[in-house]
Amino acid sequence: METLETKQPAPTFFERNAIIIKLMMVGFISLLLLIPSVMIQNLVIERSESRDHAVNDIYSKWGQTQTLAGPILNVPYRTLTKDANGKEEITLDYLHFLPERLDVKGNIDPSIRYYGIYEAILYNGKLNFSGNFTSPDLNGLKVVPESISWKDAFITIGISDLRGIKESVLVNLNDKAYTVNPGIERGGVFDSGLSIPFPLEGAQLLSGVKFGFSINLNGSSKLSFWPLGKETNIQLNSPWTTPSFSGAFLPESREVSEKGFSAKWKVLELNRNFPQKWTGDLYSFANADEDTDATSLAIDTREHKTKNAVIDNYSFGVDLLMPVDFYQKVYRSAKYALMFIGLTFTAFFFIELVNKKRIHPVQYILVGFALVIFYTLLLSFTEHLSFGIAYSIASAATILLITWFSGTVLKSKGLSILMGSLLSALYLFLYILLQMEDYSLLIGSIGLFVILGLVMFISRKVDWYDFRKTEVQVN
């Protein structure tokens, strides 16, 4: 009797390439989920801009960031020039003399104001200025002494936002009190500030001028100074605990503690690229090639300005920073969305591969959306809670949701616990990266290397040519 042999049907194209097709499908879904993750990054930027608009609205009513400069002694003089037709005409220009010594001592009293859910840092500064001008020296200025109008001299003080001044300012010049005028007349160097007519004559031309004045000033977020003295000494104290010392010069000494900060700067004439005296607008106080806002202390613009130096590049001071900029942290965390999606999908793929569990593409998509929605939860919670608490709530909710979903899809308690543990490790890893900004690259590189090693270890016995022969069991 003849026995008939039954032949197994040849595997179809899809069966032979099932792994490749599945990988391509998972990769396509991962890339597709980048669209909502980018939308979330744009949402973070939009919310951050809304915060900035709200904060700037508070600043505009209290006082913007303040830059203080001066005093500067300005003296008009006449020059004889010829126009295009050769006709002689007399024009008026100005000599500018900077202080021999400039000392500033002040206390900054910060406060936080709210606009809805947004916070703005404001401060009130009480600043005492003192110093002296030496006798005006005309050497090197190429000015005819007879053309100088000493009786029309005046002193200017630069203040970027005059709305912040809270009390009248009296300037003591050679032991005599003078009332200041608001605004800067032509030739006074600054665009915004105060001016004092101060005729120079007799002993003042020989002995120089001593000055002293106090300013009670409101401002926001930042306080800066220009080093206009031949020797400039600045000393600031404040109870604010998170300062950032910015600008061209760092403090010579500083102390930051839980009680606040104190800082001292010392800047010499030799540390900057402009002299103690000049004529006209030889040295500019702002970069004419860049846009400047309404509060910048710029020299008045004229067509013959020569940009030999930009004095504003030498400003320095202190920023009062918020302890945590949570929008920046949320934005940084959203950049890791692809890594989270990729690693989670990889875990599901290996479970599907080595445990013969079938996971539908729709289920991959649902898990991916859960991972993406984590960032919107984080953003919304962080606007009302501290970042650590918001991160804990958002990550815990996401982990529990995906763990529960994994249990219903995979029909295995062990595999669902495995997925929950994996996600917990990933979110802990991300939190560490966000907290340790200086070492984030190092920790991230080591972490990804370890994850790659684990993937290689788990997949070492997978028969990639015929995954149906694979006998590795994870549960």
Q: In the predicted model, is pLDDT for residue 131 greater than 70?
A: yes
pLDDT by residue (tens digit) across 357-373? 677 778 888 888 888 88
Q: Which two tokens stand for residue 125?
A: 């500064």
Pairing between β-strand 101-115 and β-strand 231-238 as defined by DSSP bridges:
parallel
Q: 358 by DSSP, 3-state: which?
A: coil
- The mean-pLDDT minimum among 199-203, 215-219, 391-395 falls in 199-203
Query: Residue 25, exposed/middle/buried by CB under 10 A (0-12, 13-18, 19+)?
Result: middle
Written as one string, the DSSP assignment of 101-138 is EEEEEEEEEEEEEEETTEEEEEEEEEEEEEEEEPPP--
pLDDT band at 106 (very low <50, low <70, confident <90, very high): very high
d(CA 291, CA 307): 15
Give the pLDDT confidence score for residue 7 in this predicted structure: 56
Element housing 445 (H / E): helix 440-458
Q: 189 by DSSP, 3-state: which?
A: coil
Q: In the predicted model, is pLDDT for residue 148 greater than 70?
A: yes
164 contacts: CB under 8 Å, gap ≥ 6: 62, 63, 64, 66, 217, 218, 219
Give the pLDDT confidence score for residue 307 in this predicted structure: 37
pLDDT by residue (tens digit) across 288-317? 344 434 333 433 333 333 333 467 788 899
- What's the pTM? 0.70
d(CA 325, CA 329): 7
Q: In the predicted model, is pLDDT for residue 471 greater than 90?
A: no
pLDDT by residue (tens digit) across 28-81? 877 787 788 788 788 888 888 788 788 888 787 888 889 998 899 999 988 877
Q: 269 by DSSP, 3-state: which?
A: helix
The proportion of the chain whose per-residue pLDDT surpasses 90, expressed as a percent, equals 21
d(CA 125, CA 107): 6
Q: How many residues make up the chain in this entry? A: 475
Q: Report, as an integer, the average pLDDT of 21-25.
A: 72
Q: In the predicted model, is pLDDT for residue 475 greater than 60?
A: no
